[in-house]
A and B are shown apart, each in its own frame.
Chain A
Amino acid sequence: MMGRTIFIDPGRCIGCQACVSACRECDSHRGKSMIHLDYTDEGQSVASLPTVCMHCEDPVAPCAEVCPADAILVTADGVVQQADTTRCIGCANCVNACPFGVPKIDLQAKLQMKCNLCYDRTAYGLAPMCATVCPTGALFYGTVEELQAERPGVQVADTFVFGESEVRTGVAMVVPADKVQWPVPGGLPVVEINGKDVRR
């Protein structure tokens, strides 16, 4: 796990979309939001869940791996950058490869865009826009120690399983302390699917 990163805590999310609006304000892709918010249990619950780029570490970012134009750069500190505008051909391979459904294609511009962890801010030691404004701390930027100092007993996971494959990410997710800690199936903190224990 990176030193300073985003921690996602769906239990705190109030679905306000401040993160979505803030992401639009970020200078690196001003006017477009790179975050999406899912409603996990519509009709039953008001629960919501923000998804930002998880900045996959191992195997190295599937989006970057499949990019035929070598347009997606992974920086030395583990940030998976959005596609280089001079290289991207808008083929959408990255969209299909991403297990978390993050990259977006601007079809008109033939350009992929995704969260680059507000590299223009984080490089200066600042938090990304979304985690800065998130009124609840559902998106938290810092080290795991800083997170745990604020939220005693909090447990996080940075490994997710998708069927046979396992992905370790740079961005981590808060999981309930009494539930399995990792790997987390499908990117969601659940322990059972259809009554079957999916822990390994």
Chain B
Amino acid sequence: MTADPRAADPRAADTRAVVPLDPSLAPPGTRAFRDAGGIPADQWHADQNGETLVPTHCCFCGVQCGMYLRVDRGGKVFGVEPRNHDINRMRLCPKGINAYQQVNHPDRLTAPLMRRSRDEDFREVSWDEALDFTVAEIKRIQQTHGNDAFGLLGGASLFSEKTYLVGKFARVALKSRHVDYNGRLCMVSAAGANKLAFGIDRAGNPFSDILLTDCLLIAGSNVGECFPVMTQYVWGARDRGASLIVIDPRETAIARTADIHVALKPGTDSAFFNAVLNVVIEEGLTDETYLAAHATGWAEVKAKAAEYPPSRSAEICGVPAEQIVQVARTFARAPKAMAWHARGIEHHSQGVENCLTVINLCAATGHIGKPGAGYGTITGQGNGQGGREHGQKSDLLPGGRSIVNEEHRRQICEIWGIEESELPPAGTSMMEMVWQMQRREIRGLIGICNNPFVSLPNYKVVKEGYDATEFHAQFDFFLSETAANAHVVFPVTTWAEDEGVMANAEARVVKHNKAQDPPPGVRTDTWVMCELAKRLGAGDKFAFTDSREVFDELRIASAGTVNDYYGITYERLEETGGIAWPCPSTDHPGTPRLFEDGRTYHPDGKIHMQVVEWHPPMDPYDDEHPMSLTTGRTVAHFLSGNQTRRLGALVEQTPRPWAEIHPSHGFRNGEPVRVVTRRGSEVFPALVTEAIRPDTVFIPYHWPVPTSANALTIDALDPRSKIPEYKVCACRIEHAEKIDEVPAPPVAPGHVAYPETQVSRTDPLPPTSPQGRGTSERS
């Protein structure tokens, strides 16, 4: 039995670090107080009004900030209090601060919704009716069209326990090869590159290493808005004199203060990094001793880099050649340098290759595996890292095992108690599954914790695919745009109503605790999957009653693999600030920094450098579509916006999307601008700013049609990672008559919209600044 976290004294738990931090960086305003033996600064509320503080983490991005949920005497979550966790040291971004408001939000689904056809309205039904109908439909479809005609799509915001269950449920209960997850839209390119180069799929260094570096290169990441709390590490490095290089077509808040901001044309990253490597080689800045001892493929990579002199890449990338030289010198000459990247270089039809060029640069300069030197990828989703480690990705089994590897299959079948012949082969990726739905190869689908109607590219195809399914069920706690298309919607718990682990961008596993009981009628995803499995005849393989039991099976299933979780237990996670995997035994401290002994996870222990040739993006430019459309996030919203578009303060902060364009196009701020791609056209208010390239348009993607960036983006995929090319497609812009309305999220029957929303969701006001997208009120 775990101790009730509310009863536990969290003071002991929070300040212990996996990587000890410089004490002078302790949060301001708390040190003297704590040193004097007072109540820890983040504990003061606990003594007031009988409220309790439950230590947990933010449910949103891959930083996984620690926070306390404030729970009232009646056991209901009603607020948030900053927590002095090692990752964030009290800091939170606006999403984290407002996250608690979802827990008791009036839009919460509290009874299963069901309809027999899409022409009918939803009606609230009993759990038995919804489960029985779902199982009957699964059986009907599978008996007529084969097991693979039914698919499962998971999500990377689920706890790792649940992602493990998703993979097991698909293969053991559904007996279908078709399982994938929305992390496919997140960092799989980086994962693929890391696996190829290092034999391990995770960031090489913890965030705290950023504070030790002399040169920080950030490629394709709007850190300030997408991972705001990581900014403290960036500024911390700056305080210690580190130089900052930012590669981004937009001048973001981080780029604004960079020593070098390279505003390159979207889709040209690998040409850029090849040229940087070219300069490093030309100027004799490579670390040949390191390369000779620790890398393979260097000769080939070197030869390829010779084909990318700065003059050539400058032309491809639309940046001055001197900048390329400057970046090369700054990065290679730094005693310790680090490269962090995110979706900006990963969301491409050559996303894996883009990441490989960054790895090549780190390897060639010997900036690997040391305090302050290495690489990292910044995870978009809370469990983007852990979400794929336990088998919900179409080609992976638990522990990151490959589904095509005989030995790996045998090991997992043994743990699951099934015959190897029963384990389906690899399936296809999320976007490919939608294409299969369009072609009626997949006729039934369960979606858990994802919202592809907003998050997948080429909305028209997505809608067609989903509409073509004969049966669609969705697990969610709000009626998302995708759930509104379903036959059955299962109301499930939020992160605050269950316990489980997530792995953040540093591969640090942290534990989320339960802060309140779910509302009546709501069940955990675990419970729903087990009930379905029982009705499908696989109940004995899904005899789990809670997350802990699933986690213990997951630990065993990962033991001995690269992604080893065996030594991580709930108790250890509660005692520490989190443990980075691999962690093979219960006395192992975890592995915050990789390759310290110079060995990678390949059998030969070397970095396998890979040759990369730049390819133009998949959507060609022509006279009709001469510009690049690129997409991204805004600080107030998370992914498809299903959660954040319901929270008053966040809606007020950023009520609607916009199209960011350069003044040279002659638009006034706020004027309607039509953005046209080969997939469609939509109208947005223009945000006219010099902070973007003249040939590029930026639209944030958190909204559904008719203001959906993803109605315009292309469903081209990276051949290896199968990540869609969200970050570049050809477009043009035109003057338009009027701005389309921003649709409010669908509201569940019987519920009312969030009462504290202070501005209407169709507020016609244009954003006023590229960063804040609206000025806060002022009297």
Contact = CB atoms under 8 A, between A and B. Distances in A.
Interface in A98-154: 101, 103-105, 121-122, 124-129, 131-137, 140-142, 146-147, 149-152
Contacts, number: 182
Interface stretch (B281-289, B612-620, B685-693): B685-693
Nearest to B223: A14
A139 to B, nearest CB: 9
Given A25-B97, A151-B239, A16 B30 contact: no
Given A20-B653, A133-B97, A150-B239, A37 B31 contact: no
B135 to A, nearest CB: 43
B556 interface: no
A135 B91 contact: yes
Interface stretch (B226-234, B271-279, B525-533): B226-234
B28 A127 contact: yes
Interface in B1-46: 24-25, 27-33, 38-39, 41, 44
Nearest to B67: A133
B769 A126 contact: no
B678 to A, nearest CB: 30
B735 interface: no
A15 B257 CA distance: 14
Given A16-B228, A43-B688, A135 B29 contact: no
B92 A135 contact: yes
B82 A133 contact: yes
Contacts of B253: 13-15, 46, 48
Given A14-B224, A135-B232, A150-B24, A125 B38 contact: yes
A124 B44 contact: yes
Given A14-B225, A18-B93, A135-B92, A37 B27 contact: no
A95 interface: yes
A45 B775 contact: no
Interface residues on B, range: 35 or more
A127 B775 contact: no
Contact of B28 (A11, A35, A140): A140
A123 B240 CA distance: 32
B338 interface: no
Interface in B206-234: 224-225, 228-232
| Among B636, B756, B779, residue most surrounded by chain A Cβ atoms (within 10 Å) | B779
Contact of A127 (B41, B232, B669): B41
Contact of B228 (A18, A33, A35, A127): A18
Contacts of A13: 253
B318 to A, nearest CB: 20
Interface string B658-673: 0000010000010000
A105 B777 CA distance: 12
A192 to B, nearest CB: 21
Contact of A47 (B96, B231, B256): B256
B224 A152 contact: no
Contacts of A11: 257
Contacts of B27: 127, 132
A136 B635 CA distance: 14
Nearest to B669: A43
Contact of B772 (A17, A22, A35, A141): A17
Contacts of A38: 775
Contact of B776 (A35, A124, A141, A146): A35
A43 B663 CA distance: 8
Interface in B743-779: 756, 768-772, 775-779
A39 interface: yes
A29 interface: no
A21 B94 contact: yes
A135 B228 contact: yes
A133 B775 contact: no
B252 interface: yes
Interface in B631-657: 635-636, 649-650, 653
Contacts of B80: 25
B98 interface: yes
A36 B778 contact: yes
Interface in A62-89: none
| Among B91, B635, B756, residue most surrounded by chain A Cβ atoms (within 10 Å) | B91
A44 interface: yes
A126 B94 contact: no
Contacts of B768: 39, 42
B29 A45 contact: no
B235 A133 contact: no
B706 interface: no
B90 interface: yes
A104 B79 contact: no
A22 B653 CA distance: 13
B107 interface: no
A21 B97 contact: yes
A46 B776 contact: no
B82 A132 contact: yes
Contacts of B92: 18, 22, 133, 135
A35 B567 CA distance: 46
A136 B231 contact: yes
B251 interface: yes
A4 B97 contact: no
Contacts of B38: 125
A33 B229 CA distance: 21
B97 A33 contact: no
B97 A18 contact: yes
Contacts of A24: 649
A45 B224 CA distance: 14
A34 B253 CA distance: 23
Interface string A167-192: 00000000000000000000000000
B430 interface: no
Given A124-B44, A127-B41, A42 B635 contact: no
B41 A14 contact: no
A125 B41 contact: yes
Contacts of B775: 36-39
A21 B98 contact: yes
Nearest to A95: B779
Contact of A142 (B29, B88, B636): B29
B254 interface: yes
A13 B93 CA distance: 12
A135 B251 CA distance: 19
Nearest to B647: A21
B228 A137 contact: no
Given A21-B97, A21-B98, A127-B41, A134 B771 contact: no
Contacts of B669: 42-43
Interface of A: 4, 11-18, 20-22, 24-25, 31, 33, 35-39, 42-48, 95, 101, 103-105, 121-122, 124-129, 131-137, 140-142, 146-147, 149-152
Q: Which 8 A-B pairs have the closest CB atoms?
A: A127-B29, A14-B224, A15-B771, A125-B33, A39-B769, A14-B253, A104-B779, A46-B771
Given A46-B252, A125-B38, A133-B90, 4 more contacts: A12-B235, A15-B635, A95-B779, A146-B28
5 contacts: A15-B771, A42-B689, A45-B256, A125-B30, A133-B97
